[in-house]
Chain A
Amino acid sequence: MNIPEELRYSDDHEWVRVEGGEAVVGISAFAVEQLGDIVFVELPDPGAIFGAGDAFGVIESAKAASDLLLPVGGAVIASNPALNDSPELVNDDPYGEGWLVRITLADAAQVDTLVDTLKDAAAYRAMIAEE
């Protein structure tokens, strides 16, 4: 299963990619496999502010629904507009075109927090191996 090395992962199977003062968030290939075919993604409007661990949206397959939990706090800059018409992008390309939201990190210190609280690829692989 593809678990890219350069990303950080939450216990709830979201991934985070830090790009300067911003972060891009999506769900891992493991989460996608668990959910099955994604039929709908509900994402927040730009400007919405969330704390770490807050539910920022919902992702649905034909027969299941899960809250999306933000691994780090911040303000939403953009939600992936393509998912409205093509939720299957999450299945097809979870780390690329299937990204969910881009947020502004509240401050630079968060980058360190990220490293501390989130798993690296190896630790995440170990976690999902047990599930």
Chain B
Amino acid sequence: MPYGPHTDADRERMLATIGVATVDELFADIPVAVREGGLALGPGEPEQLLMPALERLSARNDVGRVSFLGAGAYRHHIPAAVDEIIRRGEFMTAYTPYQPEVSQGTLQTIYEYQSLIAELTTMDVVSASHYDGASAAAEAALMMLRATRRERILVSEGVHPNVREVIATYFADRFALETVAVGEDGATDLTALQRALTDGDPVAGVMLANPNFFGILEPMADAASRAHEAGALFTAVVEPTSLMLLAPPGEVGADIATAEGQPLGMPLQFGGPYLGILAATQTLARQIPGRLVGSARDAEGRPCYVMTMRAREQDIRREKAASNICTNQALCALAATVYVSTVGPEGLRNVAAQGAERARELEAALATTGVLRTHTGPYLNEFAVDVPDAARVHADLLRRGFVAGLQLGPAIDDERFRDSLLLCTTEMTTSDDVTTFAAAVAATLAEVAA
């Protein structure tokens, strides 16, 4: 066994102490009828052979192209310090800090994470982390149901379709989940929202994303006040780096904020592990599911940290817990904490601003090839464009070394967007990338037209 310490003599000594002759005897409780005799898996592979095998497998993924993919997962620069810190065994191989006397490192970093996210989102209380942005949004929807004792949630079509699907899966038809359409400008149709709030059963909560899935900036404050007028709560789904520029959830009057925290120092890694950010106002503090860390004092009065408000959680509350969440994404929250600390407010603002700048360069460069935006509303660093035959254009550009964003039609199974590509830029996109991409688009379009 690769990481096993026992010699044959060790095993003999243990068996003798136990008072059995063989290890098999220890499994005597397994009824004969269901006893198994091994696993039909190959032999173990020593590290010397496995490492190159994994390197070959990794090379079967092609990550070399210039990519304009975003759509909920974003390529950002991650300072080298971030991975150095989270790889430290003291952080990486520690368990949940149930013994606070020997877990102050983890506890203080979670406290710092909660504080940083509270500042960034301008919310009062932040959970220690959730699985990803989608599960955080689902928990937010459940919070709104619990807090209002109503059974109907309105979610904008501008919320990521995968996030909407996760919410629907969590709901499993037990609660009403309705989609509010986005208009021609790509933003949520406030008239439709108002109608949905006024008609039908009372609404527990409204959820909008900003920037939304199509990259468009939403009228968050307006939507929030309409929700509140109807006695409903409001959840803002946000992108964390954008909060240096855009009005954060607290400023627009949101009761709950959720986000996919991946842009804060987590590699793309095919979709996970990421970071579910969940924050709320003080009023809803006790409705927040998952762990919370608070400051405390020890027996000698020394300042320290501890998991607190524990009686809300599943291990104590069992069937009456607010959520079943136990394991979370603590190490990802640590990555976000180190990331934000390392780039600082100036760096984080520059991350957001560079992405927005490149996006404007991209819009202008594509316009010269005749490719125009799908929507008319304001955007930050992501927008959709219309091309003739998106599938063919996307495939052709792939051959030319570019990932031309996300093909919206097949990705969200929506015929209206059959010929739309969702393009994203970040600080990792260079002006040269934009220029060469626009040239490739022109060449592709010429070929498609021919």
Flag A28-71 by CB within 8 Å of B: 1 or 0 each.
Answer: 00000000000110100000000000000010111111010000
In the complex, chain A residues whose CB is within 8 Å of the CB of B286: 40, 42
User: B316 in the interface, Cβ–Cβ < 8 Å?
Assistant: yes
In the complex, chain A residues whose CB is within 8 Å of the CB of B310: 62-63
Asked if A40 and B309 make an inter-chain contact with CB atoms under 8 angstroms apart, the answer reads: yes
Flag B275-316 by CB within 8 Å of A: 1 or 0 each.
Answer: 000000000001000000000000000000000011110001
* A47 vs chain B, min Cβ distance (A): 14
* B128 vs chain A, min Cβ distance (A): 17
Choose among A40, A60, A61, A64 the residue with the greatest number of B CB atoms under 10 Å from its CB: A60
User: B317 in the interface, Cβ–Cβ < 8 Å?
Assistant: yes
Choose among B286, B311, B312, B317 the residue with the greatest number of A CB atoms under 10 Å from its CB: B311
Asked if B309 and A65 make an inter-chain contact with CB atoms under 8 angstroms apart, the answer reads: no
| Complex Cα spacing A39 to B286, Å | 12
A-B contact count (CB 8 A): 22
> What is the chain B residue whose CB lies nearest that of A39?
B311
> How many A residues are at the interface, by size bracket?
10 to 19
| Complex Cα spacing A39 to B307, Å | 14
In the complex, chain B residues whose CB is within 8 Å of the CB of A62: 310-311
> How many B residues are at the interface, by size bracket?
under 10
| Complex Cα spacing A97 to B23, Å | 62
Give the residues from 299 to 355 in chain B that come closer than 8 angstroms, CB to CB, to chain A.
Answer: 309-312, 316-317, 320
Which one of B309, B316, B320 contacts A64 once the chains associate, using CB atoms below 8 Å?
B316
> What is the chain B residue whose CB lies nearest that of A66?
B311
In the complex, chain B residues whose CB is within 8 Å of the CB of A58: 320
| Complex Cα spacing A6 to B311, Å | 33
| Complex Cα spacing A63 to B311, Å | 6
In the complex, chain A residues whose CB is within 8 Å of the CB of B311: 39-40, 60-65
* B125 vs chain A, min Cβ distance (A): 14
In the complex, chain A residues whose CB is within 8 Å of the CB of B309: 39-40
> What is the chain B residue whose CB lies nearest that of A60?
B311
> What is the chain B residue whose CB lies nearest that of A67?
B320
* B292 vs chain A, min Cβ distance (A): 13
In the complex, chain A residues whose CB is within 8 Å of the CB of B317: 65
| Complex Cα spacing A58 to B317, Å | 11
> What is the chain B residue whose CB lies nearest that of A65?
B311
| Complex Cα spacing A58 to B320, Å | 10
| Complex Cα spacing A40 to B320, Å | 16
| Complex Cα spacing A42 to B320, Å | 14
In the complex, chain B residues whose CB is within 8 Å of the CB of A64: 311, 316
In the complex, chain A residues whose CB is within 8 Å of the CB of B316: 63-65
In the complex, chain B residues whose CB is within 8 Å of the CB of A42: 286
In the complex, chain B residues whose CB is within 8 Å of the CB of A40: 286, 309, 311
* A115 vs chain B, min Cβ distance (A): 32
| Complex Cα spacing A63 to B316, Å | 7
| Complex Cα spacing A61 to B312, Å | 11
Choose among A40, A58, A61, A65 the residue with the greatest number of B CB atoms under 10 Å from its CB: A65
In the complex, chain A residues whose CB is within 8 Å of the CB of B320: 58, 65, 67
In the complex, besides A42-B286, A58-B320, 11 extra interface pairs with C-beta distance below 8 angstroms are A39-B309, A39-B311, A40-B286, A40-B311, A60-B311, A62-B311, A63-B311, A64-B311, A65-B311, A65-B320, A67-B320
The list of the 10 closest CB pairs from A to B, nearest first, reads A60-B311, A65-B311, A65-B317, A65-B316, A64-B316, A63-B310, A64-B311, A63-B316, A62-B310, A63-B311
- A interface with B by C-beta (< 8 Å): 39-40, 42, 58, 60-65, 67
What are 14 pairs between A and B in contact, CB < 8 Å?
Answer: A39-B309, A39-B311, A40-B286, A40-B309, A40-B311, A58-B320, A61-B311, A62-B310, A62-B311, A64-B316, A65-B312, A65-B316, A65-B317, A67-B320
